[in-house]
Structure 1
Amino acid sequence: MMTINVGVLLAVVVVMRLRRRTQARSRAEERNTALFVLALGIVIAPTPLGQGIFDVIGQLVNGISRAGT
């Protein structure tokens, strides 16, 4: 039996949609792409990869805020 990871499938869809030229997109296509990216973020967030990305971004923001003061 073959299984497919939803996160990988969404990542492939997002990459394929973002490769298209910007001028050729309608508002509906851009809205759909944004929804796919949001869904990908929701799927990835609870995984160890998502938590690692969250931690790295948190450290980056923390470093930038400390540098500004």
Structure 2
Amino acid sequence: MQYTVSASVFLAIIIVIRLRRPTHSRSRVDEAFTVFTAVVFGVLIAATAWGQAILQLVGVAVEASH
């Protein structure tokens, strides 16, 4: 479990750094790498209790919007 949390924190830092850069200088490969990193982050965080809480909050928000 420690490796999952550590990898998640590392990926979150990478995502924040990459998204702070100006958007006009990004290539398709750069954007694809950012999306891939975000997806991997989502998969890693989903296995944690924090990820499950986020999933429940999103589910409540979706049900409230209907």
TM-score with structure 1 length normalisation? 0.87
Tell which has more relative contact order, 1 or 2 (C-alpha 8 A, sep 6+): 2
Unaligned runs of 5+ in 1: none
Matches within 5 A, 1:24-35: 24-35=25-36
| Matched pairs, number | 63
| Higher helix proportion | 2
Structure showing greater Rg: 1
CA–CA distance in 2 between the matches of 1:12 and 1:60?
26
Cα deviation code 1:1-59 (max 9, x no counterpart): xx881000000000000000000100000000000000000000010110000000000
CA–CA distance in 2 between the matches of 1:16 and 1:32?
13
Q: Which amino acid aligns with 2:6?
A: N
Unaligned runs of 5+ in 2: none
TM-score with structure 2 length normalisation? 0.91
